[in-house]
Chains A and B, each alone.
Chain A
Amino acid sequence: DAGITQSPRYKITETGRQVTLMCHQTWSHSYMFWYRQDLGHGLRLIYYSAAADITDKGEVPDGYVVSRSKTENFPLTLESATRSQTSVYFCASSEPRDRVDEQYFGPGTRLTVT
Chain B
Amino acid sequence: AQSVTQLDSQVPVFEEAPVELRCNYSSSVSVYLFWYVQYPNQGLQLLLKYLSGSTLVKSINGFEAEFNKSQTSFHLRKPSVHISDTAEYFCAVTKKGYQKVTFGTGTKLQVIP
Contacts and interface: CB of A to CB of B under 8 A. Distances in A.
Interface residues of B, number: 23
B100 A58 contact: yes
Interface in B80-111: 90, 94, 98-101, 103-106
Contact of B99 (A31, A44, A105, A106): A31
B44 interface: yes
Interface residues of A, number: 23
B94 A101 contact: yes
Interface string B43-83: 11110010100000000000000000000000000000000
A92 B44 CA distance: 9
B25 to A, nearest CB: 13
Interface string A44-57: 11001010000000
A100 B51 contact: yes
Contacts, number: 54
B100 A42 contact: no
Contact of B100 (A40, A41, A48, A106): A48
B30 to A, nearest CB: 12
A12 B45 CA distance: 26
A21 B41 CA distance: 17
B99 A43 contact: no
14 contacts: A42-B106, A43-B90, A43-B103, A44-B103, A92-B43, A94-B99, A96-B99, A100-B51, A101-B94, A105-B43, A105-B44, A105-B45, A107-B42, A108-B41
Closest 8 CB pairs of A and B: A105-B43, A42-B105, A43-B103, A105-B44, A42-B103, A42-B106, A31-B99, A107-B43
